[in-house]
Amino acid sequence: MNMFVFFFQQVDDFIEKMFQYLSIEYKKELRIKNKIIDFVLKSANNLDILVEIKEVKNNSKNTIISAINQLKSYREIYPKEKLNKYSFVIIFGSVDEQQKDYYKKDNIIIIDIANIMYLIKNNQDLLEQLKNMLTFSIIDYVPQKIDLEKYMNYVENPEKEKCINIEDKYINEIKNIKKGKEGSKEFEKIGEKVLKYLFGDYIYGWKSQINCDNNLHRIDLLGKVKQQDGFWKMLYEIYKSRYIIFEFKNYNSKITQDQIETTNKYLNKNTLRTVAIVISREGINKNAKSICKGILRDQGQLILTLNENDLITMLKNKKENQDKDIPSEYIEKLFDDFLLGVEK
Q: What is the pTM of this model?
A: 0.57
In the listed set 123, 151, 179, which residue is the last one of a domain according to the structure?
Answer: 151
158 part of a folded domain? no
125, 228: one domain: no
Task: State residue 6's pLDDT score.
Answer: 46
209 part of a folded domain? yes
Predicted confidence pLDDT, tens digits, the chain (344 residues): 444 444 568 888 999 999 988 888 899 988 887 888 999 998 867 789 999 998 776 556 778 888 889 889 998 899 888 888 899 999 988 888 888 888 988 899 999 999 999 999 888 889 888 888 887 777 888 899 998 888 887 555 444 334 457 888 899 999 999 999 999 999 999 999 999 889 888 888 888 888 876 666 789 999 999 866 789 989 999 999 999 999 999 999 999 999 999 999 999 999 899 999 999 999 999 999 999 999 999 999 999 999 999 999 999 998 887 677 889 999 999 999 999 988 86
Torsion sign over Cα 201, 205, 209, 210: negative
314 part of a folded domain? yes
Cα angle at 51 between 46 and 56, to 5 degrees?
160
For 183-199, letters b (16+ CB in 10 Å) and e give: ebebbbebbbbbbbbbb
| Cβ(198)–Cβ(318) below 8 Å | yes
209, 285: one domain: yes
63, 112: one domain: yes
Structural domain including 292 reads 166-340
Reported as a single tens digit per residue, the pLDDT across 201-244 is 888 888 888 887 666 678 999 999 986 678 998 999 999 999 99
| Cβ(69)–Cβ(172) below 8 Å | no
44, 106: one domain: yes
CATH code for the domain in which residue 84 is found: 3.40.1350.10
In the listed set 151, 174, 196, which residue is the last one of a domain according to the structure?
Answer: 151
172, 144: one domain: no
159 part of a folded domain? no
120, 176: one domain: no
Task: State residue 248's pLDDT score.
Answer: 96
In the listed set 119, 151, 183, which residue is the last one of a domain according to the structure?
Answer: 151
| Cβ(219)–Cβ(210) below 8 Å | yes
Tell me the β-bridge partners of 35: 32
157 part of a folded domain? no
Task: State residue 15's pLDDT score.
Answer: 93
Task: State residue 5's pLDDT score.
Answer: 46
136, 194: one domain: no
81 part of a folded domain? yes
Query: In total, how many domains does the chain have?
Result: 2
Question: Half-sphere exposure of 284 toward its Cβ, with a 13 Å CA cutoff?
Answer: 23
Helix (H, G, I), strand (E, B) or coil at 82: helix
Euclidean distance between CA atoms 249 and 252, whole angstroms: 9
Q: What is the CA radius of gyration of the chain?
A: 22
Euclidean distance between CA atoms 7 and 10, whole angstroms: 5
Task: State residue 163's pLDDT score.
Answer: 45
119, 84: one domain: yes
Euclidean distance between CA atoms 280 and 184, whole angstroms: 10
User: CB burial class (10 A; 0-12, 13-18, 19+) of residue 306?
Assistant: buried
What is the torsion angle, in degrees rounded to the nearest 10, for the CA atoms of residue 279, residue 284, residue 290 and residue 293? 20
56, 186: one domain: no
30, 135: one domain: yes
156 part of a folded domain? no
